[in-house]
A and B are shown apart, each in its own frame.
Chain A
Amino acid sequence: MKKTLALLLAAAMTVSLAACGGNNSSTTTTAAAGETAAAATTGGQQETTAAAETQAAETQAAGAGSELAGTYDIVIWAPDAAVDLTKSQVDDFNSSNEYGITINATVEPVSEADAASNMITDVQAGGDLFFFAQDQLSRLIQAGAVSKLGTQAAEFARNSNNAASILAAQSGSDLYAYPLTADNGYFMYYDKSVVPEDHVDSLEDIIADCEAAGKNFSYELENAWYNAGVFFGTGCHSDWVTNDAGEFISIDDDFNSDKGLIAAKGIYKLVSSPIWVNSSNADFASGSAVVVTGTWNYATILEQLGDNFGVADLPSFNVDGTDYHIGSYSGCKLIGVKPQTDAVKGAAIQRLAQYLTNKECQLARFTEFGWGPSNKEALADPAVQADPTLSALNEQGSYAVPQPNIHGSWWDIAKVITTDVKATDGSDAALKACLEKYEESINAVFTMSDDVKNAFTVIGSINGDGWTLDLPMTAEGDVWTSNEAYEMEAGTEFKCRQGKAWDVAYPADNFVVETAGTYYVQLDAATGEVTLVPAS
Chain B
Amino acid sequence: MNNTEKRHMGLKALNRVSNTGIYILLTVISVVWLIPFVFIVLQSFRVENTYQVGYVIPKQWGLQNYINLWNSDFKRWYLNTLIIALAAAVFQTIIQLCMSYTLSRFRFKLRGPLMRFMLILGMFPGMLTMIILYRVLSDLGLTQANAVPGLILVSVASSGMGYYVSKGFFDTIPKSLDEAARVDGATRLQVLYKIILPLAKPIVIYTILTAFMGPWGDYVFARYVAFGTSAGYNVAVGMYSWLTNDQINRMYTTFCAGGVIVAVPVTILFLCLQKYYVEGVTGGAVKG
Using a CB–CB cutoff of 8 Å, the interface residues on chain A facing chain B are: 19, 22-23, 26, 30, 33-34, 36-37, 40, 75, 77, 79-81, 108-114, 118, 121-122, 125-127, 281-283, 285-287, 296-297, 299-300, 303-304
Q: Say how far B243's CB is from chain A's closest CB, in angstroms.
A: 9
Provided the pairs A79-B246, A80-B241, A81-B250 are in contact, do residues A285 and B51 lie with their beta carbons within 8 angstroms?
Answer: yes
CB <8 Å contact, A23 and B120:
yes
Main secondary structure of the interface of B (DSSP, over half): helix
B49, B245, B247, B250: residue with the most chain A Cβ atoms closer than 10 Å: B245
CB <8 Å contact, A111 and B54:
no
Q: Say how far B285's CB is from chain A's closest CB, in angstroms.
A: 27
CB <8 Å contact, B52 and A127:
no
Bound form: Cα–Cα A80–B224 in Å: 19
Provided the pairs A26-B121, A26-B124, A122-B227 are in contact, do residues A111 and B134 lie with their beta carbons within 8 angstroms?
Answer: no
Q: Say how far B220's CB is from chain A's closest CB, in angstroms.
A: 12
Provided the pairs A80-B241, A118-B228, A282-B52 are in contact, do residues A297 and B129 lie with their beta carbons within 8 angstroms?
Answer: no
CB <8 Å contact, A81 and B247:
yes
Q: For residue A23, which residues in chain B have a CB less than 8 angstroms away from its CB?
A: 117, 120
CB <8 Å contact, A287 and B144:
no
List 21 contacting pairs A-B, 8 Å CB cutoff, sorted by A.
A22-B116, A30-B129, A30-B132, A77-B228, A81-B247, A108-B228, A110-B228, A110-B241, A121-B134, A121-B224, A122-B143, A122-B227, A125-B143, A281-B248, A283-B54, A285-B52, A285-B53, A287-B54, A300-B249, A303-B49, A304-B51
Provided the pairs A22-B117, A37-B132, A80-B241 are in contact, do residues A122 and B246 lie with their beta carbons within 8 angstroms?
Answer: no
B49, B54, B129, B228: residue with the most chain A Cβ atoms closer than 10 Å: B228
CB <8 Å contact, B228 and A127:
yes
Q: For residue B250, which residues in chain A have a CB less than 8 angstroms away from its CB?
A: 81
Bound form: Cα–Cα A127–B144 in Å: 11
CB <8 Å contact, A297 and B249:
yes
CB-contact partner of B54 in A33, A81, A127, A285, under 8 A: A285
Q: For residue A19, which residues in chain B have a CB less than 8 angstroms away from its CB?
A: 113
Q: Which residue of A lies closest to B249 (CB)?
A: A300
Q: For residue A299, which residues in chain B have a CB less than 8 angstroms away from its CB?
A: 249
Q: Say how far A180's CB is from chain B's closest CB, in angstroms.
A: 13
Provided the pairs A122-B138, A126-B228, A282-B249 are in contact, do residues A111 and B51 lie with their beta carbons within 8 angstroms?
Answer: no
Total chain B interface residues with beta-carbon distance under 8 A: 36
B229 contacts chain A at the CB level, 8 A cutoff: yes
Bound form: Cα–Cα A110–B232 in Å: 13
> 1/0 per residue B20-54: CB within 8 Å of A?
00000000000000000000000000000101111
CB <8 Å contact, B246 and A286:
no
Question: Which are the 5 A-B pairs with shortest beta-carbon distances?
Answer: A286-B54, A285-B53, A111-B244, A300-B249, A33-B132
Q: For residue A30, which residues in chain B have a CB less than 8 angstroms away from its CB?
A: 124, 128-129, 132
CB <8 Å contact, B230 and A108:
yes
B131 contacts chain A at the CB level, 8 A cutoff: yes
CB <8 Å contact, A22 and B249:
no
Q: Say how far A243's CB is from chain B's closest CB, in angstroms.
A: 28
Q: For residue A113, which residues in chain B have a CB less than 8 angstroms away from its CB?
A: 244-245
> 1/0 per residue B214-244: CB within 8 Å of A?
0000000000100111100000000001101
B287 contacts chain A at the CB level, 8 A cutoff: no
Bound form: Cα–Cα A22–B129 in Å: 18
B135 contacts chain A at the CB level, 8 A cutoff: yes
Beyond the given pairs A112-B246, A113-B244, A283-B52, 16 more chain A to chain B contacts, judged by CB atoms under 8 angstroms and listed by A's residue number, are A22-B113, A30-B124, A30-B129, A36-B135, A40-B135, A80-B242, A109-B230, A121-B228, A122-B138, A126-B228, A282-B51, A285-B49, A286-B52, A296-B245, A296-B246, A300-B49
Q: Say how far A198's CB is from chain B's closest CB, in angstroms.
A: 28
Bound form: Cα–Cα A121–B228 in Å: 10
Q: Say how far B54's CB is from chain A's closest CB, in angstroms.
A: 3
Bound form: Cα–Cα A75–B231 in Å: 13
Q: Say how far B195's CB is from chain A's closest CB, in angstroms.
A: 33
Bound form: Cα–Cα A285–B49 in Å: 10
Q: For residue B227, which residues in chain A have a CB less than 8 angstroms away from its CB?
A: 118, 121-122, 125-126
Q: For residue A303, which residues in chain B have a CB less than 8 angstroms away from its CB?
A: 49
Q: For residue B117, which residues in chain A have a CB less than 8 angstroms away from its CB?
A: 22-23
Q: Which residue of B lies closest to A281 (CB)?
A: B52
Q: For residue B229, which residues in chain A have a CB less than 8 angstroms away from its CB?
A: 108
Q: Which residue of B lies closest to A298 (CB)?
A: B249
Bound form: Cα–Cα A8–B9 in Å: 82
Q: For residue B241, which residues in chain A have a CB less than 8 angstroms away from its CB?
A: 80, 109-111, 114
> 1/0 per residue B178-212: CB within 8 Å of A?
00000000000000000000000000000000000
Bound form: Cα–Cα A22–B208 in Å: 30
Bound form: Cα–Cα A118–B247 in Å: 18
CB <8 Å contact, A80 and B54:
no
Bound form: Cα–Cα A23–B131 in Å: 22
CB <8 Å contact, B249 and A114:
no
Q: Which residue of B lies closest to A122 (CB)?
A: B138
Bound form: Cα–Cα A81–B228 in Å: 15
> 1/0 per residue B245-257: CB within 8 Å of A?
1111110000000
Bound form: Cα–Cα A133–B259 in Å: 29
Q: For residue A285, which residues in chain B have a CB less than 8 angstroms away from its CB?
A: 49, 51-55
Q: Say how far B253's CB is from chain A's closest CB, in angstroms.
A: 12
Bound form: Cα–Cα A79–B245 in Å: 11
Bound form: Cα–Cα A159–B26 in Å: 68
Q: Which residue of B lies closest to A333 (CB)?
A: B246
Q: Which residue of B lies closest to A83 (CB)?
A: B230
Q: Which residue of A lies closest to B73 (CB)?
A: A109
Q: Say how far A338's CB is from chain B's closest CB, in angstroms.
A: 12
CB <8 Å contact, B135 and A37:
yes
Bound form: Cα–Cα A299–B247 in Å: 12
Q: Say how far A292's CB is from chain B's closest CB, in angstroms.
A: 14
B138, B245, B246, B247: residue with the most chain A Cβ atoms closer than 10 Å: B246
Bound form: Cα–Cα A177–B77 in Å: 32
Q: Which residue of B lies closest to A279 (CB)?
A: B52
Bound form: Cα–Cα A109–B233 in Å: 11
Q: Say how far A135's CB is from chain B's closest CB, in angstroms.
A: 13
Bound form: Cα–Cα A296–B246 in Å: 6
Bound form: Cα–Cα A504–B73 in Å: 62
Bound form: Cα–Cα A33–B113 in Å: 24
Q: For residue B116, which residues in chain A have a CB less than 8 angstroms away from its CB?
A: 22
Q: For residue B132, which residues in chain A have a CB less than 8 angstroms away from its CB?
A: 30, 33-34, 37
CB <8 Å contact, B135 and A114:
no
> 1/0 per residue B113-146: CB within 8 Å of A?
1001100110010001101101100100001100
Q: Say how far A373's CB is from chain B's closest CB, in angstroms.
A: 17
Q: Which residue of B lies closest to A120 (CB)?
A: B227
Q: Say how far A73's CB is from chain B's closest CB, in angstroms.
A: 14
Q: For residue A281, which residues in chain B have a CB less than 8 angstroms away from its CB?
A: 51-52, 248-249
Provided the pairs A81-B247, A281-B52 are in contact, do residues A122 and B230 lie with their beta carbons within 8 angstroms?
Answer: no
Provided the pairs A26-B121, A281-B248, A296-B246 are in contact, do residues A122 and B134 lie with their beta carbons within 8 angstroms?
Answer: yes
CB <8 Å contact, B120 and A81:
no
Bound form: Cα–Cα A283–B54 in Å: 8
Q: Which residue of A lies closest to B136 (CB)?
A: A33
Q: For residue A126, which residues in chain B have a CB less than 8 angstroms away from its CB?
A: 227-228
Bound form: Cα–Cα A220–B96 in Å: 50
Q: Say how far A60's CB is from chain B's closest CB, in angstroms.
A: 30
CB-contact partner of A114 in B121, B224, B244, under 8 A: B244
